[in-house]
């Protein structure tokens, strides 16, 4: 059951991702992207990471994607260029290259090799893991520095974005 769910979600995720690429309309692309974000959130949930799944929806689908769509609207970019002809370009060398990359990644073991795991997902001790408090614990102990740095990053990006976007 779970496997089926995973597979279905995977297919949907792939499908939405493909549609992001193949939509001629930018807005459509963005909308497919939102879908993709959602489905990934679902996958997170399947991995029992509720908090991060919610974060995914809020931050990604909610914030970033809205931001992007807003930008698209603002720039009035409804119809994208011809580069998104779905099938015509499928045998494009670039797709082949990408396919090669994927195959190569698979061959050298991404997703197929044995994994060195400390625990497994079924480990009952780990069920609790994924709770917010553990994450919080991490963030405010070991992860303090990156966490603080993220704030600097965001400040920098805001400062930059404001500078760039503001008119003289």
Partner 1 sequence: MAEYQNIYLILSAILFTIGCGGVITRKNAIVVFLCIEIMLGAVNLAFITFSRANSSPEGIFMVMCVMAVAAAEAAVGLAIFVLLYRKTGSINIDKFNLLKW
Partner 2 sequence: MFDYVWLIPTLPLIGVLVNGLFGRRIEKANKSIIHWIACGSVGLAFFVTLIIFVQMLRLEPDKRFYDYIWFTWMESGEFTVPMGFQIDPISMFMCMFVTGVGFLIHIYSIGYMWHDEHDEGTYFRYFTYLNLFMLCMITLVLADNFLLMFLGWEGVGLCSYLLIAFWFSTKEFAIAGKKAFITNRIGDFFFAIGMLLLIVNLGKHGIWSIKYADVFAHVSLLSPDLITLICILFFLGCTAKSAQIPLYVWLPDAMAGPTPVSALIHAATMVTAGVYFVARCNILYTMSPLAMQIVAIVGGMTAFFAATIALTHNDIKKVLAYSTVSQLGYMFMGLGVGAFAAGLFHVLTHSFFKALLFMCSGCVIHAMSGEQDMRYMGGLRKKMPITFATMVIATLAIIGFPGFSGFFSKDEILWMAFSSPSGNFMLWLIGVLAAAMTAFYMFRLIFMTFFNECRASEEVKKHIHEAPKSMTVPLIILAFLSVVGGYIGIPKALGGSNLVEHFLEPVIGFGKGKLFQDATGTAIMHGAETAGHHSHTMEYLLMIITTLIVFGGIFTAYMMYMKNRSIPEKLAQKVPLLYRLMLNKWYIDELYEWNVIKPLHTFSIFLWKITDTMIIDGLVNKTAQFFMWCGSMLRHIQTGYVQRYAVTFVAGTVAIVMYYVFLLYI
Partner 3 sequence: METLDFILPAMSMQAVWPQIILVTTALFVLLADVFKRKEKTASTGFISLAGSIIALGCLIMTWPTSGGSSFSGMAFTDGFSFFITLTVLLILIMTIMISINYQKFFSRINCGEYYSLLMFASCGMILMAAAGNLILLFVALETMSVSIYVLAAFHKDQLRSIESALKYFLLGAFASGFLLYGFALIYGATGTLDIVKIGKFISSHPHILHSKLLIAGLVMMTVGFGFKVSMVPFHMWTPDVYEGAPTVITGFMATGVKAAAFAALIRVILVPLISLKGDWTSIMWIAALLTMTVGNVVALAQENVKRMLAYSSIAHAGYILIGFVAGTGLAQAGMLFYLMAYAFMNIGAFGVVALLGKEEGEYNKISDFAGLGFKYPMMGVGMAIFMFSLAGIPPTGGFMGKFYIFTEGIKAGYVWLVIFAAINSIISIYYYLRVVVVMYFHSSEGLVTMPRPSRTTVLALAIACWGVILMGIFPSYFWSLATNCIFTLV
d(CA 129, CA 125): 8
Which of partner 1, partner 2, partner 3, none lies near 18, with the C-beta cut-off 5 to 8 A by kind?
partner 1
Query: Contact between 157 and partner 3 (CB under 8 A)?
Result: yes
The CB-of-97 to partner 2 minimum distance in angstroms stands at 5
Query: Contact between 98 and partner 2 (CB under 8 A)?
Result: yes
Query: Are the CB atoms for 28 and 73 separated by under 8 Å?
Result: no
Candidate list 87, 91, 107, 115; residue touching partner 2; CB under 8 A: 107
Candidate list 4, 91, 94, 162; residue touching partner 2; CB under 8 A: 94
The smaller minimum CB distance to partner 3, of residues 8 and 67, is found at 67
The CB-of-81 to partner 1 minimum distance in angstroms stands at 5
Query: Contact between 123 and partner 1 (CB under 8 A)?
Result: yes
Beta bridge partners of 25: 79
Which of partner 3, partner 2, partner 1, none lies near 133, with the C-beta cut-off 5 to 8 A by kind?
partner 3
Contact residues for partner 3 (CB under 8 A)?
105, 108-110, 112-118, 133, 136-137, 140-146, 149-150, 152-153, 155-157, 159-164, 168
């Amino acid at each position: 059951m779970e496997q089926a769910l995973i597979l279905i979600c995977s297919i949907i995720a792939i499908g939405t991702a493909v549609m992001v690429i193949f939509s001629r309309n930018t807005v459509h692309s963005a909308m497919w992207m939102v879908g993709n974000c959602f489905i990934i959130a679902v996958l997170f949930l399947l991995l029992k990471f509720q908090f991060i799944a919610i974060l995914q929806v809020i931050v990604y689908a909610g914030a970033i994607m809205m931001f992007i769509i807003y930008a698209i609207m603002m720039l009035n970019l409804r119809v994208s260029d011809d580069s998104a002809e779905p099938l015509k370009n499928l045998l494009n060398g670039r797709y082949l290259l990408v396919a090669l990359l994927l195959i190569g990644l698979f061959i050298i073991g991404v997703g197929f090799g044995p994994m060195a795991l400390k625990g497994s997902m079924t480990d009952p001790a780990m069920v609790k893991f994924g709770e917010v408090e553990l994450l919080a614990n991490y963030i405010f102990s070991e992860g303090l520095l990156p966490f603080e740095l993220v704030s600097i990053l965001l400040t920098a990006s805001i400062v930059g974005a404001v500078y760039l976007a503001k008119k003289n």
